[in-house]
């Protein structure tokens, strides 16, 4: 392994190249612009293709073409750009074309600002585009995972022939940390379903249009079975000090790191706090959270949004126990002390947690 001090955004690009990706199509946008900058430098060095498209709409359709030809390919953007890509992502999912797209989340809605938020959760995890489909969604919380989960995303995308999203808040994209890269890269698999413009692959048809109602229904049933297998086999999460926890903090991305510090602080005061971090946002670790709800009575979800992850947490614990929510917005990231104070309030004022007006700033009962 070789170690390098590097930005999370650049770690994504190096991870992609090490995973065998040889084509990048995208349009720069803060706080994801370093991905395009790094791709413009590194992809040509390994004989790959970098192309700055005229728009995000163009870039996602270039991904469709490159993936159809069997290439491991990727793009990256942030909220406004991801919104423009949604139709193309739906086409990719419908045609069962693998690709990796990094979404480095910024403040919204609209143009918002360039600060870190997590407001793209529903857009990426719940689909975002039209029709019945799912993206595979991986959520790194470090520069190291920006590399590792990007490499994993390419493997999962090819294994299931599905778009895979690396979903990171702007903080993770911009921070610099030591990253250990594998010394050896790898080559993507041979794709017998791809189209190469020759007689041998002439029989391959890649499309998302099924004019017959019955044919489209059968296609969607096939997709549903694929999603079932993904949910069964690809769930990933991290559990921190949950064995004896009286309250479990739930969060992902940069928030999960703050939650660990808050849990450690709480234990110094005799409060048995633990942290549950979903690494795969789709498939969501529903069963693992449901099992925790059998032994833990209180949950607190913390997000850089107005509350999106919390909906999946609430469904997982089936309202068996309270699930409180604390959110910051606009690029504001909560401090360890802030989360610790909210945690104490949750435990010491349970009655107030049923009244959103009685909670500290940003905190709402769910």
Distance from C-alpha of 237 to C-alpha of 224, rounded to nearest angstrom: 23
First-residue to last-residue Cα distance in the chain = 45
Same domain, 95 and 229: yes
| 3, containing H or E segment | strand 2-7
Q: Say if residue 185 is in the same domain as residue 244.
A: no
The number of folded domains in the chain is 2
Tell me how far apart the alpha carbons of residues 243 and 229 are, in angstroms, rounded to a whole number: 29
Please list the pLDDT of the chain residue by residue as tens digits (366 residues). Answer: 679 999 999 999 999 999 999 999 999 999 999 999 999 999 999 999 999 999 999 999 999 999 999 999 999 999 999 999 999 999 999 999 999 999 999 999 999 999 999 999 999 999 899 999 999 999 999 999 999 999 999 999 999 999 999 999 999 999 999 999 998 898 889 999 999 989 999 999 999 999 999 999 999 999 999 999 999 999 999 999 999 999 999 999 999 999 999 999 999 999 999 999 999 999 999 999 999 999 999 999 999 999 999 999 999 998 667 799 999 999 999 999 999 999 999 998 754 444 333 355 555 444
Confidence (pLDDT) at 33: 97
Domain termination residue (choose one: 175, 202, 233)? 233
Residues 243, 156, single domain; the answer is no
Predicted confidence at residue 303, as pLDDT, reads 98
**Looking at the structure, do residues 200 and 279 belong to the same domain, yes or no?**
no
**Are residues 325 and 225 part of one domain?**
no
Q: Are 283 and 358 in a shared domain?
A: yes
CA distance 256 to 278: 9
Residue 212 shares a structural domain with residue 79: yes
Same domain, 283 and 219: no
Residues 215 and 273 in one domain: no
Q: Pick the last residue of a domain from 201, 233, 265.
A: 233
Beta-carbon contacts of 96 under 8 Å, excluding residues fewer than 6 positions away, are 161, 162, 206, 223
Give the number of other CB atoms < 10 A from CB of residue 360.
13
Q: Given 204, 233, 262, which residue is the final one in a domain?
A: 233
Question: Residue 51 sits in which domain range?
Answer: 2-233
Phi/psi of residue 324, each to 5°?
-85, 160
- For residues 209 and 282, state if they share a domain: no
Tokens of 82: 């991801």
CA-to-CA distance for 97 and 90, rounded, in angstroms?
Answer: 10
User: What CATH number should be reported for the domain holding residue 327?
Assistant: 3.40.50.920
CATH number of the domain at 101, please: 3.40.50.970
Same domain, 212 and 342: no
Please indicate, yes or no, whether residues 224 and 278 belong to a single structural domain of this protein: no
Q: Which of 231, 349, 357 shows the shortest CA–CA distance to 300? A: 349
Are 37 and 29 spatial neighbours (Cβ–Cβ below 8 Å)?
A: no
């Amino acid at each position: 392994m070789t170690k390098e001090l590097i930005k999370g955004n650049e770690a994504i690009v190096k991870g992609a190249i090490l995973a065998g990706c040889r084509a990048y199509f995208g349009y720069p946008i803060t706080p994801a612009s370093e991905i395009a900058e790094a791709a413009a430098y590194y992809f040509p060095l390994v004989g790959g293709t970098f192309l700055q498209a005229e728009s995000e709409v163009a870039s996602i359709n270039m991904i469709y073409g490159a993936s159809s030809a069997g290439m491991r390919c990727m793009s990256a953007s942030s909220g406004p750009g991801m919104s423009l890509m949604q139709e193309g992502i739906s086409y990719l999912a419908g045609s069962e074309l693998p690709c990796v797209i990094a979404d480095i989340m910024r403040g919204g809605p609209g143009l918002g600002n360039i600060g870190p938020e997590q407001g793209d959760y529903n857009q990426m995890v719940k689909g975002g585009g039209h029709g019945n489909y799912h993206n595979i969604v991986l959520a790194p919380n470090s520069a190291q995972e920006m590399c590792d989960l990007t490499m994993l995303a390419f493997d999962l995308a090819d294994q299931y022939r599905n778009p895979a999203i690396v979903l990171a808040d702007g903080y993770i994209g911009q921070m610099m940390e030591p990253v250990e890269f594998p010394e050896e890269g790898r080559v993507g698999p041979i794709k017998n379903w791809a189209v190469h413009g020759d007689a041998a692959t002439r029989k391959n048809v890649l499309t998302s249009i099924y004019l017959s109602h019955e044919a489209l229904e059968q296609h969607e049933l096939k997709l549903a079975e694929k999603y079932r297998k993904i949910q069964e086999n690809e769930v990933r999460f991290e559990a921190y000090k949950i064995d004896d926890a009286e309250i479990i903090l739930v969060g992902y991305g940069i928030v999960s790191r703050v939650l660990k510090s808050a849990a450690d602080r709480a234990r110094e005061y005799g409060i048995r706090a633990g942290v549950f971090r979903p690494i795969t946002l789709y498939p969501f670790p529903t069963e693992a959270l449901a099992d925790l709800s059998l032994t833990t009575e209180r949950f607190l979800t913390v997000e850089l949004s107005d509350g999106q992850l919390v909906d999946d947490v609430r469904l997982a614990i089936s309202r068996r126990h309270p699930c409180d929510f604390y959110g910051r917005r606009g690029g504001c990231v909560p401090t360890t002390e802030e989360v610790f104070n909210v945690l104490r309030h949750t435990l010491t004022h349970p009655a107030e947690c049923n009244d959103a007006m009685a909670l500290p700033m940003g905190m709402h009962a769910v």
